[in-house]
């Protein structure tokens, strides 16, 4: 699937089928986690068939069903950890989507994970994943003029870039970012304040990289 279709087809799913993930997919996921940990100096930890973490029924928003697989997104404490987790976490999440699984970022509405976390480290979020009961729904988006300075005469590339940013999942769907397109073809992404907006910022930066790759490949053809 091309990057744009992958981003367009991804929606948060919280209700999953009571179905184990096949062994070959589990191995691919373990390999991907290992390679991202090496690349990013992170300590992501994957758990399969572990039903306890998402068992709690106390949450009215963000309650899960059959969420028996998750990745704990852990890294060394630092000022840029949240953003880094967002960037590498979204890489992993879209990898899971590409394997035909459904996913959801979870910052708050989960119980205690099984992750081993050193004193120098922090668990920022989890990603829940499995085969979904449904495919989720497209999220509402703020208007283009709230999220950017795009205008009706802008070129196709800028429109693609803005679409990739708008498709990114953000905590509480808050979309706390602004993208300024400049006359020389460059652009500048800024973050606004909000809960988990640093993680969101990393996620959006990953989507920006995908937008550039998508645009490059489209124009090679």
Give residues 20-49 in contact with ligand FMN (rule: CB under 6 A).
Answer: none
Say how far apart CA 147 and CA 192 lie, in whole Å. Answer: 11
Cβ pair 167, 196 in contact under 8 A: no
Give residues 108-127 in contact with ligand FMN (rule: CB under 6 A).
Answer: 108-109, 125
In the complex, the smallest distance separating the C-beta of residue 78 from ligand FMN, rounded to whole angstroms, is 18
Say how far apart CA 183 and CA 160 lie, in whole Å. Answer: 16
Of the candidate residues 8, 50, 136, 215, the single one contacting ligand FMN (CB under 6 A): 136
Nearer to ligand FMN, 141 or 149 (CB): 141
Nearer to ligand FMN, 19 or 108 (CB): 108
Report the length, in residues, of the chain: 221
In the complex, the smallest distance separating the C-beta of residue 72 from ligand FMN, rounded to whole angstroms, is 14
Q: Which residues contact 117 (CB under 8 A, 6 or more apart)?
A: 43, 72, 74, 123
Q: Supply the Cα-derived Rg of the chain in whole angstroms.
A: 17
Give residues 161-220 in contact with ligand FMN (rule: CB under 6 A).
Answer: 169-173, 196, 199-200, 203
């Amino acid at each position: 699937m091309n990057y744009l279709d992958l981003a367009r087809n991804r929606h948060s799913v919280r209700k999953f089928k009571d179905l184990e993930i096949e062994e070959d997919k589990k191995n691919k996921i373990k390999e991907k986690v290992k390679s991202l940990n090496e690349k990013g100096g992170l300590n992501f930890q994957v758990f399969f068939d572990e039903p306890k973490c998402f068992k709690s029924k106390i949450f009215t928003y963000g309650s899960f069903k059959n969420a028996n697989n998750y990745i704990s997104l852990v890294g060394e404490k630092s000022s840029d950890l949240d953003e880094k987790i967002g960037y590498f976490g979204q890489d992993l999440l879209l990898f899971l989507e590409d394997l035909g699984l459904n996913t959801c970022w979870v910052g708050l509405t989960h119980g205690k994970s099984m992750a081993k976390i050193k004193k120098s480290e922090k668990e920022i979020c989890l990603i829940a994943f499995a085969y979904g009961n449904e495919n989720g729904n497209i999220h509402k988006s703020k208007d283009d003029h709230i999220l950017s300075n795009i205008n009706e005469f802008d070129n196709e590339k800028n429109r693609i870039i803005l679409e990739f940013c708008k498709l990114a999942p953000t905590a509480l769907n808050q979309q706390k970012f602004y993208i300024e397109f400049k006359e020389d073809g460059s652009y500048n992404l800024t973050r606004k304040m909000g809960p988990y907006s640093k993680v969101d910022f990393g996620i959006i930066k990953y989507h920006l990289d995908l937008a550039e790759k998508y645009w490059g490949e489209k124009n090679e053809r």
